[in-house]
Amino acid sequence: MSEKMQYIPIAKPWMGEPEAEAAKRAIMSGWVTQGPEVTAFEQEFAAYVGSKYACAVSNCTTALHLALLAVGVQPGDEVITVSHSYIATANSIRYCGAVPVFVDIEPQTYNINPILIADAISDRTRAILVVHQIGMPCDLKAILDVAHSHNLPVIEDAACAIGSEILWNGQWEKIGKPHGDIACFSFHPRKIISTGDGGMLTTNNPEWDKQFRLWRQHGMSVPDTVRHGAKQVIFESYPMLGYNYRMTDIQAAVGREQLKRLPEIVERRRYLAQQYQEKLADVPGLKLPTEPAWARSNWQSYCVRLPDKCDQVEVMQVMLDAGIATRRGIMCAHREPAYQIEAWSCSTSRETCNCEPGSCQRLTESEQAQDRAIILPLFHHMTEEEQNRVVEELKKACQV
């Protein structure tokens, strides 16, 4: 890489003076842990996605954990999900003492294949945990049809999907409304908007929202905001096992400013994704991402599947040598050591898995997506020059 050639990262959060001033506001107020800024962020987030309730937590993994607990997942239960996701998805199931039952994905969208869900359901299935992978909405209508026919709750791992939309009863609606039972979001720096780290649960169920608020603060019966504002002495109690899953007011203050930027961020990312579609359309064998007619992605990531002749690692190295960051296709949890020793089941009987460690005959699309796809740089303030560099270097790497 030339010394004058600027490095192009895979992602970069869009933050500035408004976020710095918001953090200062929270710091100078003297209330820096969970407090009024968190409450305001929750209200504004709920209004944005169209949900009755939103509860802020420390990250999306903790959000997923609480969502699973809320719908009644217990030790020994099974939860249907995908292996093709960041490992936090499967981990949250194991936190409940439950077993993830992995279903393969659709190669076009990298999302769970609804046709395969019914065959994975057993008398131990307690919930379905779907993922809107890299911001692309999954086929919620088909998924919910299966779930409702078996009386199963649906949790949406929407970590990457803030700002994404789905055509629902003839209207475009935000992911997170929610269309399932609970949706969970992430504010990690790799996501569309960021609070440094953080998460949010949205639901229309008031009892679940109440439960989230108890669990996130050690099961404390009286919130800090009530206790500190009381005119009489109040002693809290702890009627249940809870967790320290709180978001700070500093994070929430930043999140409120990020939420204001969100429409512009999504619009820009959709433009950049369209530019990639046009600029890469002539690369033989390169498979570009597919956006179904009923979905509008926020394009949290732009993932392409390489031509058969190309080696994934070699292409990524060529790009890196040219000063361009890429990432491999989304990981598969069943290939990780923590899950190779886990007695998760993928066979038809689902009592045992007879596949080789790190490989599964029923998850071939998931494995192919990890092995054959790469994620290209995409961020709000990416310039035309930077995007053209990415395109040209990718074409060279693919020997076009």
Catalytic residue numbers, as ranges: 191
Residue 235's Cβ-count burial label (10 Å; 0-12, 13-18, 19+) is: exposed
Q: CA 227, 229, 233, 238: dihedral to nearest 10 degrees?
A: -10
Distance CA 388, CA 255 (A): 31
Helix and strand counts by DSSP (H, E) for the chain: 13, 13
Going by DSSP bridges, is the β-strand pair 295-296/327-328 parallel, antiparallel, or unpaired?
A: unpaired
Which residues neighbour 353 within 8 Å (Cβ) at sequence distance 6 or greater?
343, 344, 345, 346, 347, 360
Going by DSSP bridges, is the β-strand pair 199-203/182-186 parallel, antiparallel, or unpaired?
A: antiparallel
Amino acid (one-letter) located at 7: Y
Sheet with 171-174: strands ordered across = 171-174, 165-168, 295-296
Helical packing angle, 312-321 and 384-397, nearest 10° = 140
Distance CA 374, CA 384 (A): 20
Please state, as a whole number, how many other Cβ atoms lie within 10 Å of the Cβ of residue 200: 28
The closest of 165, 383, 395 to 295, measured between CA atoms, is: 165
Which residues neighbour 3 within 8 Å (Cβ) at sequence distance 6 or greater?
none
Backbone angles phi, psi at 340, to 5 degrees: -70, -25
Going by DSSP bridges, is the β-strand pair 78-82/53-57 parallel, antiparallel, or unpaired?
A: unpaired
Give the bridge partners for 54, in sequence order: 202
Q: How many angstroms separate the first and last alpha carbons of the chain?
A: 21
Report how far Cα 305 is from the mean position of its chain's Cα atoms: 20
Distance CA 120, CA 151 (A): 14
